[in-house]
């Protein structure tokens, strides 16, 4: 079946299956930043935005995105690079496996929360697992990034 949606500000019509999830649709159409890290909706690696809200694309049926705006890491390259520089400065980009979903979640948080506390940051990120960093460097990077954005 054909459906129309907007991906990274570009309107597209795609041939999809009724039970297809957005992760598979995006990857099949070249948005390879979107990746699968688990089978249990628990790692956050597949996080993207639908109408500016973070969703787990591994469990989001593509048909639900009809006529909505989908944003992947490919669509926010400038902001992603800006934040990634803070991650690098804090030694928080080790294997990088978690980065696509983590960065999408942090950028959404930066838009949504005004001056979040450390507890709010942890709460916002609790669906994004990282097997390497222990989160301390990531939290430092997020705080410095938010400070930078707010000044």
Piece of the chain touching ligand FES by CB under 6 A; list 8-16, 31-39, 67-75, 112-120 = 31-39
Alpha-carbon span 72 to 56, nearest angstrom:
12
Distance CA 144, CA 70 (A): 28
Pairwise CA distance, residues 33 & 99, whole Å:
9
> Which residue, 1 or 95, is less far from ligand FES as judged by CB?
95
Q: How far is the CB of 134 from ligand FES (least distance, A)?
A: 10
Candidate ranges 3-11, 74-82, 93-101, 139-147; the one touching ligand FES (CB under 6 A): 93-101
In terms of Cα–Cα distance, which of 133, 44, 130 is closest to 92? 133
Which residues sit at the interface with ligand FES, rule CB under 6 A? 36-38, 41-46, 56, 58, 94-98, 130-133
């Amino acid at each position: 079946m054909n459906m129309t949606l907007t991906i990274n500000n570009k309107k597209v019509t795609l041939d999809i299956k009724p039970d297809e999830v957005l992760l598979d649709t995006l990857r099949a159409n070249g948005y390879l930043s979107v990746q699968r890290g688990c089978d249990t909706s628990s790692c956050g690696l597949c996080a993207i935005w639908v109408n500016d809200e973070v969703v787990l694309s591994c469990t989001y049926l593509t048909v639900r995105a009809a006529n909505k705006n989908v944003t992947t890491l490919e669509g926010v390259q400038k902001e992603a690079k800006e934040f990634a520089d803070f991650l690098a400065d804090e030694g928080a980009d080790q294997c990088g496996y978690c980065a696509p979903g983590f960065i999408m979640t942090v950028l959404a948080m930066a838009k949504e929360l005004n001056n979040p506390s450390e507890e709010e940051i942890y709460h916002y990120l609790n669906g994004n697992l990282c097997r390497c960093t222990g989160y301390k460097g990531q939290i430092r990077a997020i705080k410095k990034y938010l400070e930078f954005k707010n000044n």
